[in-house]
């Protein structure tokens, strides 16, 4: 019997997959527990359409993320901060993102996660006010 998994099932498959199981396991456990539905022809067609739409949306998201990554990578930011006479910062540029690396005036590079595996890096300059 073929079923469409609605939830991840250990040692069987992930949500959204069509898998073959013994009829008793499917009818007596998976379907009543809400883990799966019977994979009829109409369910298979609907699943295929859902996958096609999901792939189309994913491709658009990836394209948009890559375009944003290219834009971010082309940027060079300039951050003005108060510094001592020796060039050391009195504070930090930001508390979480840059402070670990930035301790004095100069040019730095930071990485940003845009979407899933798409990352971009950009340069920024820390200059005295």
Q: What is the tens place of the pLDDT at every residue in 68-101?
A: 999 988 888 777 778 888 888 777 666 454 555 5
| pTM > 0.75 | no
Cα 117 to Cα 71, 80, 110, 121: the distances in Å are 17, 32, 16, 13
Q: What is the pLDDT of residues 30-72, one digit of tens each?
A: 999 999 999 999 999 999 999 999 899 999 999 999 999 999 8
Q: Is 105 exposed, middle or buried (0-12, 13-18, 19+ CB in 10 A)?
A: middle
Q: According to the model, what pLDDT value does residue 126 have?
A: 79
What is the C-alpha to C-alpha distance for residues 98 and 18, in angstroms, rounded to an integer? 46
| pLDDT confidence band for 102 (50 / 70 / 90) | low
């Amino acid at each position: 019997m073929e079923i469409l998994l609605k939830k991840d099932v250990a040692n069987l498959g992930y949500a959204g997959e069509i898998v073959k199981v013994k009829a008793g396991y499917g009818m007596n456990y998976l379907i009543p527990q809400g883990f799966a539905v019977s994979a009829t022809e109409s369910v298979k067609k609907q699943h295929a359409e859902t996958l096609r739409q999901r792939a189309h949306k994913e491709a658009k998201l990836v394209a948009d993320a890559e375009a944003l990554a290219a834009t971010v990578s082309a940027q060079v930011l300039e951050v003005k901060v108060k510094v001592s006479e020796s060039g050391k910062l009195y504070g930090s540029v930001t508390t979480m993102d840059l402070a670990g690396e930035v301790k004095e005036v100069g040019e730095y590079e930071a990485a940003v996660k845009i979407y899933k595996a798409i990352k971009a890096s950009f340069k920024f300059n820390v200059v005295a006010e």
